[in-house]
Structure 1
Amino acid sequence: MMSERYIAARGAAPDSETARRLNDGMDGFWTNVIAPMDQDGDGKVDLREMIAGFRRVLTDPALYPQQIAPITNLFFDLTDLDGDDKIDQGEFQLIYDAVADVPGEDCAEVFATLDLDGSGALDRAEFHKAVAEFFYGNDPHAPANHLFGKIAD
Structure 2
Amino acid sequence: MTVLRDRKYRQWFRGADIDGDGVITRQDVLLMGERYIAARGDAAQSATARRLTRELEVFWTQVIAPMDQDGDGRIDLREMTEGFRRALTDPALYPQQIQLVADCYFDLIDLDGNDVIDQEEFQQIFGLAGNLPFEECAEVFVALDLDGSGALDRAEFHQALAEFFYGDDPDAPANHLFGKLAD
Higher mean alpha-carbon deviation, 125-134 vs 100-109, is at 100-109
Greater relative contact order (Cα < 8 A, sep 6+): 2
Distance 1:18 1:49, change over 3 A: same
Corresponding residue of 2:89: 59
Q: What is the CA deviation profile of residues 3-29 of structure 1, one whole-angstrom value per residue up to 9, with x for unaligned ones?
A: 121111011222332321221110121
Q: Which residue of 2 aligns with 1:21?
A: 51
Cα deviation for residue 125 of structure 1 reads 0.6
* Correspondence 1:26-65 to 2 at 5 A: 26-38=56-68, 42=71, 44=73, 46-47=75-76, 48-65=78-95
34 and 152 in structure 1: CA distance in 2 versus 1, 3 angstrom threshold = closer
Match of 1:110 among 124, 131, 140: 140
Identity between Structure 1 and Structure 2 (%): 67
- When the two chains are superposed, the root-mean-square deviation of aligned CA atoms in Å is 2.1
The 1:29/1:119 distance shift into structure 2, 3 A limit, reads: same
Asked if 2 retains the 8 angstrom alpha-carbon contact of 1:89 and 1:121, the reply is yes
- Mark the runs of 5 or more structure 2 residues left unpaired by the alignment: 1-30
Alignment match of 2:100 (pick from 54, 66, 70): 70
User: What SS is found at the alignment partner of 1:100?
Assistant: coil
In the other structure, the counterpart of 1:98 is: 128
Structure 2 residue identity aligned to 1:72: A
Q: TM-score if structure 1 supplies the norm length?
A: 0.87
Alignment correspondent of 1:79? 109
Any stretches of 5+ residues in structure 1 without a counterpart?
Answer: none
SS at match of 2:156: helix
SS of equivalent to 1:4 = helix
Q: TM-score, normalised by structure 2?
A: 0.74
